[in-house]
Amino acid sequence: MHYYEITHSKMLCSGYRTARKMLNLHHLRIFYTVAKRLSFTRAAKDLSITQPAVTNQIRAFEEQLHLKLFEAKPGKVLLTEEGRILHQYAQRLFDLEGEIEGVVNDLKGSRVGVVSLGTSRTYSHTFLHLLISHFHRFYPNIVVKIDEAGSLDIIQSLLDFQNEVALCVKIVDNPDVCFIPFCTEHLVVVLPVGHRLTRQEHLSVEDLAGEKIILRGKGSASRYLVSRLFEKSGIALNILTEASNTELIKNMVQREEGISFLSRVAVTKEVEEGKLCVRSLEDNEIPLHISIAYLKNRVLSPSATVFLNVLQELVPPDKPAGSATALIAKLTAMPRMSHGDTEV
């Protein structure tokens, strides 16, 4: 930009700061249309107003800004230097307006956006990646933002408007939260290979008396359910360590530092590899009812709505929720799409 243009640009900017409270965007749009078409007649047609109305609006705009924006020549309209510089700024403004309109249309059409999803750490490590991959087959440009915590804490995150949708264990009813059954799991007793209790096919709570237990922290479904089970049985819960990291818990059990309670799907690999053993409780099986959850009275964003719909399509309402293992098998068997392809 030449010195002359820079000087005029600075003068115009100074004038804009003085008059910005008075700047009429309707006038600016008319100016921009005339400047783009260099014709009052063609601009009037584009704006669906009369040519005299365009002329009057431009005259009012020039008076408002105390600037001469156009020069009339026989048979044509030319921009003044001030008009040319103002047109450059107006071009940027209305280009941005077009981009905003495109983004809004994309958001309304659920083509782009963000889903805030709260989930238990166990499921984020076992099958959540399969769910997200499945979702992205249909909506590749919607970002899924993951918030990991215990199930009780995740429900609280819905109530605090931190997440829109949750995938967690339903422990207790909440009048403000809608729970949709998604799949089922069970907590199992996780033991080191060679532990004395592996000689029994089924265990009772009494068999676990005195055992050092590595348990998840407060706010997790497993902690809540195991604590209730021991309390109901009248047996003291001997907690060695509290940890939120499933891999840490499994490693500690492998090192024979204690036993634990984890969902069966979380230890499938280690059991198959002979690194851990699991046993179920004979008379006190601990079911985990994994649900899709969201607030009843909250209007979900378009992105959250389509995410919820995709999850619900995996579990038809006329069929009971199957096991997490069956869900993983179903997702794994689905064909993978090539890069850049999307289904409609």
148-150-155 Cα angle (round to 5): 90
**19-40 pLDDT, tens digit each:** 445 578 888 989 988 998 888 9
Global confidence as pTM: 0.62
**Residue 16: alpha-carbon gap to chain centroid:** 40
- The residue that leads in pLDDT, 16 or 91, is 91
Chain-centre distance for alpha carbon 154: 14
Residue-wise pLDDT for 62-109, tens only, equals 898 899 999 888 778 899 999 999 999 988 888 887 777 766 766 666
What string of DSSP letters covers 2-25? -HHHHHHHHHHHHHHHHHTTT--H
pLDDT value at residue 298: 87
User: Pairing between strand 70-73 and 239-242?
Assistant: unpaired
| Calpha distance 280→261 (Å, rounded) | 10
Give the pLDDT band (50/70/90) at residue 196: very high
The better pLDDT of the pair 208, 326 is held by 208
pLDDT at 11 over 90: no
**Per-residue model confidence (pLDDT) at position 275:** 96
Residue 124 has pLDDT above 50, yes or no: yes
Q: Are 184 and 288 in contact (CB under 8 A)?
A: yes
Residue 167 tokens, joined: 């995938």
Mean pLDDT of 215-221: 85
Token pair 């993983």 in the structure block, residue: 328
pLDDT at 336: 62
For 145-190, the pLDDT digits (tens) are: 999 888 888 999 999 989 999 998 888 889 999 999 888 888 899 9
* pLDDT number for residue 20: 47
For residues 43 and 339, the model is more confident at 43
| Summary mean pLDDT of the chain | 83
Please give the torsion angle defined by the CA atoms of residues 133, 136, 137 and 139, in that order, rounded to the nearest 10 degrees. Answer: 170
Kindly tell me if the per-residue pLDDT of 339 is higher than 80.
Answer: no
Say what the pLDDT of residue 206 is.
92
- Residue 319: its pLDDT value, please? 65
Q: Which of 72-81, 114-123, 134-143, 280-289 is least confident?
A: 280-289
pLDDT of residue 318: 64
Domains belonging to the chain, first-starting first, are 3-108 (1.10.10.10), 113-183+289-333 (3.40.190.10), 185-287 (3.40.190.10)
Gap between the Cα atoms of 31 and 91, Å rounded: 11
